[in-house]
Structure 1
């Protein structure tokens, strides 16, 4: 199976989970900064309307209320974070990217802003611009999937030394043997493997691209030691023989 196709499907699954988490953390009700009494009452009304609109799947009304809340509360970035997540869920990646980049101009440590910017820019094919956001996301959160994504984009962009460094960091992290990734194995079928096995498989692809066949073989074999039924690693190893 094509590696890029496999990882894309895997990312869509993780992206959906990550955005749902970001939206929970950045709910319009969660952070209401000190505002004049004249605004507070209207904020409460707009928050209720937003919640109802989302409950009834009326996204257009929800977006309008978020824009009104953003205008009335310019210092409260939670509304913009929620809007960015909403655009991403709707697969409006251009809008999601623009909103999240505006967020990062004001707060470059916004995890929601970094996450939405990284995945949106990747979906738009702007890999060079997506990469630093994945790097920052890992540095700030310690999230191993962001580190895996960093390594994968570095590999795709042929930044092989950087990619190997990211992959080795991932392999050395003890949590990588505990955390899991899902890879597609066929139509509507998914296979769970350890993050460490996925990292070894990626390491093998990097070595393969560099023409280091024996190093690639060793990495694919190690991936299979960690996850013996890892179909993609089996296919990659088979291509070397």
Structure 2
């Protein structure tokens, strides 16, 4: 009981300290605030120039605490975390940005890819879907379809691939691993047809799957994955 009371007291003290700090920052003299902001902005730029990620994050945290109304600094923090390979932190920061501005393309991208990296496919999917709706980026649509397929949401995945087959541009490419050190690029349309075949194959529709794989190979005859998948239909 004493331990619980102690922990509650510590939590109360911490929250009180945070509230007091936020209040103090809010009451900063505007001229002093501008000067402190300029110092942290300069420190951030130098830290990024010299690849000092930790110092860059400290400067951004100072700017966020001093300017809680300016979502730009939170967005920048998400980018720093993402580029440093800290996917979970990047996702959490970007999701906070999206609560304020759900049309931030940068934060949608970071949230979608970061959550996918940590294996949270169900959570990443709506961000990829929103990214496609806002930007019209076909690769976001392909990622949506791939995750839908991975989650066995077959009707949704098939709909995404049908849209891609119809709308993919000739110069759009998707990369597939050919070996541990080499990737193979194929057209977006061929990639979408291959995914269609995989969806049909999972559902036991070998005739439709075979037709999709053959169509993909007609576009890209050297498409290794489509060749391997076609062999599964025999």
1:235 aligns with 2:228: yes
**Secondary structure at 2:98 match in 1:** helix
Q: Can you give the 5+ residue segments of structure 2 that lack an aligned partner in the other structure?
A: 1-28
Alignment correspondent of 2:103: 109
- Is 2:53–2:84's contact at 8 Å kept on the other side of the alignment? no
TM-score (norm: length of structure 2): 0.84
- 1:78-130 CA distances to partner (integer Å, 9 max, x unpaired)? 21112112212222222111101111111111111111111111112111111
Map of 1:140 onto structure 2: 134
Unaligned runs of 5+ residues in structure 1 are: 1-34
1:43 Cα deviation from its structure 2 partner? 2.1
Aligned-residue RMSD, C-alpha: 1.5
Which segments of structure 1 move beyond 6 Å, counting only runs of 4 or more? none
Instruction: Quote the offset at 1:38 in angstroms.
Output: 3.3
**TM-score normalised by the chain length of structure 1:** 0.82
Cα deviation, 1:56-78, whole Å, max 9, x if unaligned, reads 11111000001111122222222
Q: Distance in 2 between matches of 1:165 and 1:36?
A: 54
1:164 paired to 2:158: yes
Q: Distance in 2 between matches of 1:130 and 1:113?
A: 12
Which residue number in structure 2 is paired with residue 198 of structure 1? 191
2:198 partner SS: helix
Query: Which residue is 2:17 aligned to?
Result: none
Which structure: larger Rg?
A: 2
Alignment of 1:69-88 (within 5 A): 69-88=63-82
The 5 A counterparts of 1:1-241 are 36-175=30-169, 177-241=170-234
> Matched residues in 2 for 1:145 and 1:75: separation?
33
Higher relative contact order (CA 8 A, sep 6+): 1
What number of residue pairs does the alignment pair up? 206
